[in-house]
């Protein structure tokens, strides 16, 4: 295994030693480790932080994405074969549930200066497609012009879901990334803004969607709903006793439950979240200043944002040859790098197997061929930052 001087991340947790010790004590003193009070307490804290009415915890960000789509189908807000536009620059398990759950998935290009979908690209796509759903991704802490995108979707009755797994803490003047949609997903996998080892969340202000997400999360049953909600489902289906209700399954679901370890870790890590977002932002700005001095790189545009909170530094080279040059420089310097997420999703083998129609997406192709990223986290030392800066200066 290659060891890097500057890996994508150095630790599993923010304040690693302290967190591991607290986790060990928690496990030793816990009678229950399956989903319960710790998960609920984390949900409540996270909803407060994100300024959303509901937060529903899952065992991963990918599960959160799957659950959002399944819940919308269960509620009949979207149907089989409805058209769903999605950001072509995204993660596999953002796109896969669209295919798995029988929607027509239409990839949307990105603005190469923001790495994100823009209202201009959306308006162009709307000339050809009648979307019921827009599943956009806020890429590596950056966003598109979400206000305008939301306005357009509100006008046309298009449901927006936001995959905010890479942008926890990012802010626009009109609100936090993740709050421009009916629901948004978050990931707490190692190397994201905060880690619960594995874990994910959905945030929403919609009561019926939050309720359905809890049904989808746990087998299709009502066990994790409140008493009022349980009564409603039981009356609707004429369930006569608590005995019968315990194994009654109301709609399509999975087992996507987190554990109390996830709930405990989430709460513990949240105390460091704000501080860690601030450091990531400062790091990002330092790197961007250097990038802007080097004509080999395409400058990023984040003027429309108040705060950029990414777990990685995106680098967009002006062409593929230059990317090769910088990949080599980073490798020689021992800085771990990755492609810019999955590139143009249409170029992934799974996508070509299930969707034969390929759209022309010049922005996403450019990012696919010319971009890469390295890790951005609070433990980057002055020397680590200097090593990265030396590669781009
Ligand atoms: C945009 C995006 N969505 C979803 C996910 C999936 O999250 P998880 O690894 O928690 O399943 C990731 C993972 O990095 C991601 O970058």
Which of ligand 1's atoms lies nearest the C-alpha of 188? 10
Concatenate the DSSP letters of all residues of 315-382 into one string: EEBSSHHHHHHHHHHHHHTTB-EEESTTSBGGGSHHHHHH-------HHHHHHHHHEEEEE--TT--H
Identify the pLDDT of residue 10.
Answer: 94
- What's the CA-to-centroid distance between 93 and ligand 1, angstroms? 7
- What's the CA-to-centroid distance between 247 and ligand 1, angstroms? 32
- What's the CA-to-centroid distance between 94 and ligand 1, angstroms? 8
Identify the pLDDT of residue 329.
Answer: 97
Identify the pLDDT of residue 3.
Answer: 86
Fold of the domain built from segment(s) 274-392:
3.90.1150
How far does CA 171 lie from the centroid of its chain? 15
Overall CATH class of domain 16-268: alpha beta
Identify the pLDDT of residue 2.
Answer: 67
Which of ligand 1's atoms lies nearest the C-alpha of 90? 1
Mutate to test the pocket of ligand 1, among 93, 163, 338, 367 (most ligand atoms within 8 A of CB): 93
The angle formed by the CA atoms of residues 10, 12 and 14, to the nearest 5 degrees, is 85
- What's the CA-to-centroid distance between 202 and ligand 1, angstroms? 12
Taking only the tens place, the pLDDT of each residue in 114-139 is: 999 999 999 999 999 999 999 999 99
- What's the CA-to-centroid distance between 358 and ligand 1, angstroms? 24
Which of ligand 1's atoms lies nearest the C-alpha of 189? 10
- What's the CA-to-centroid distance between 360 and ligand 1, angstroms? 25
DSSP 82: -
Q: Give the pocket of ligand 1 (CB within 6 Å).
A: 60-62, 65, 90-91, 93-94, 137, 163, 165-166, 187, 189, 200, 341
The protein residue with its alpha carbon nearest to ligand 1, atom 7, reads 61
Mutate to test the pocket of ligand 1, among 12, 60, 61 (most ligand atoms within 8 A of CB): 61
- What's the CA-to-centroid distance between 294 and ligand 1, angstroms? 31
Domains of the chain, by residue range, sit at: 16-268, 274-392
Mutate to test the pocket of ligand 1, among 8, 187, 258, 367 (most ligand atoms within 8 A of CB): 187
**Rounded to whole angstroms, how far apart are CA atoms 297 and 323?**
9
Identify the pLDDT of residue 1.
Answer: 54
Which of ligand 1's atoms lies nearest the C-alpha of 62? 11
On the CB side of 203, CA atoms within 13 Å amount to 27
- Within the chain, which residues score under 70 in pLDDT? 1-2
Taking only the tens place, the pLDDT of each residue in 302-335 is: 999 999 999 999 999 999 999 999 999 999 999 9
Identify the pLDDT of residue 74.
Answer: 98
Structural contact between residues 117 and 136, judged by C-beta atoms closer than 8 angstroms = yes
Residue 102 region by backbone torsions, left for phi larger than 0, else alpha for psi between -120 and 50, else beta: left
């Amino acid at each position: 295994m290659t060891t890097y001087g500057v890996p994508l991340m150095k630790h599993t947790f923010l304040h690693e030693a302290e967190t591991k010790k607290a986790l060990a004590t928690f496990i030793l003193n816990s009678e229950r480790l399956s989903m319960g009070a710790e998960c609920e307490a984390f949900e409540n804290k996270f909803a407060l932080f994100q300024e959303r009415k509901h937060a529903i915890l899952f065992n991963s960000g990918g599960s959160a994405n799957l659950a959002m789509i399944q819940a919308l189908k269960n509620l009949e807000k979207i149907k089989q074969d409805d058209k769903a536009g999605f950001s072509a620059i995204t993660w596999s398990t953002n796109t896969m549930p669209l295919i798995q759950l029988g929607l027509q998935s239409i990839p949307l290009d990105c603005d190469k200066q923001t790495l994100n979908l823009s209202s201009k690209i959306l308006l162009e796509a709307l000339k050809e497609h009648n979307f019921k759903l827009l599943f956009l991704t806020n890429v590596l802490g950056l966003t598109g012009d979400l206000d305008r995108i939301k306005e357009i979707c509100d006008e046309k009755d298009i449901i927006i879901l936001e995959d905010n797994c890479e942008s926890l803490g990012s802010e626009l003047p009109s609100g936090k990334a993740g709050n421009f949609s009916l629901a948004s997903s978050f990931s707490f996998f190692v190397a994201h803004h905060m880690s619960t080892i594995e874990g994910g969340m959905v945030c929403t202000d919609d009561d019926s969607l939050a309720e359905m997400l809890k049904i989808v999360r746990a087998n299709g049953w009502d066990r994790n709903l409140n008493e009022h909600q349980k009564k409603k489902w039981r009356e609707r289906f004429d369930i006569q006793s608590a005995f019968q209700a315990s194994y009654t399954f109301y709609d399509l679901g999975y087992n996507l439950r987190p554990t109390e370890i996830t709930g405990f870790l989430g709460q513990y890590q949240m105390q460091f979240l704000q501080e860690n977002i601030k450091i990531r932002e400062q790091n990002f700005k330092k790197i961007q200043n250097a990038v802007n001095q080097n004509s080999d790189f395409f400058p990023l545009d984040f003027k429309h944002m108040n705060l950029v909170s990414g777990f990685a530094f995106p680098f967009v080279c002006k062409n593929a040859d230059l990317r090769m040059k910088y990949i080599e420089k980073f490798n020689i310097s021992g800085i771990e790098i990755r492609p810019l997420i999955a590139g143009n999703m249409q170029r992934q083998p799974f996508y070509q197997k299930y969707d034969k129609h390929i759209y022309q997406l010049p922005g996403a192709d450019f990012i696919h061929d010319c971009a890469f990223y390295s890790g951005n986290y609070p433990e980057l030392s002055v020397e680590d930052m200097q090593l990265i800066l030396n590669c781009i200066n």
